[in-house]
């Protein structure tokens, strides 16, 4: 997993498979279109009890922690709560 830890910049001109990801997460077509046009940075780090992800969308930031294989609550980029 060490190779996965770190900062990842998502560039809109290199985004692929947004429709497949959106289907998995139950996104609307509008949400998929919004994500396909975003550039953002994701920082993925190990914590004492799982994994931490912090996402910087520029004007908005969000973060969540989780354990692999366990459901978790988070706030989507549009402000809605999800599991």
Query: How do the domains of the chain map onto residue ranges?
Result: 2-82
Express each pLDDT in 20-38 by its tens digit. Answer: 888 887 888 998 888 888 8
Q: Which residues contact 18 (CB under 8 A, 6 or more apart)?
A: 32, 35, 36
Of the candidate CATH numbers 2.40.128.20, 1.20.120.10, 3.90.1150.10, 3.40.718.10, the domain formed by 2-82 belongs to 2.40.128.20
Tell which residue, 33, 45, 78, 75, has the closest CA to residue 59.
78
pLDDT tens for each residue of the chain, 83 residues long: 567 899 999 888 887 888 888 888 788 899 888 888 888 899 999 999 899 999 998 888 888 999 989 998 888 767 778 88
Cα radius of gyration rounded to whole Å, the chain: 13
């Amino acid at each position: 997993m060490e190779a996965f830890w770190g900062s990842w910049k998502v560039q809109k001109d290199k985004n692929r498979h947004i429709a497949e990801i959106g289907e998995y997460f139950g996104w609307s077509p509008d949400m998929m279109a919004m994500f396909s046009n975003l550039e953002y940075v994701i920082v993925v780090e190990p914590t004492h009890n799982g994994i931490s992800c912090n996402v910087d969308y520029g004007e908005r930031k969000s973060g969540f922690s989780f354990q692999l294989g366990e459901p978790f609550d988070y706030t989507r980029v549009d402000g809605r709560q999800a599991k």
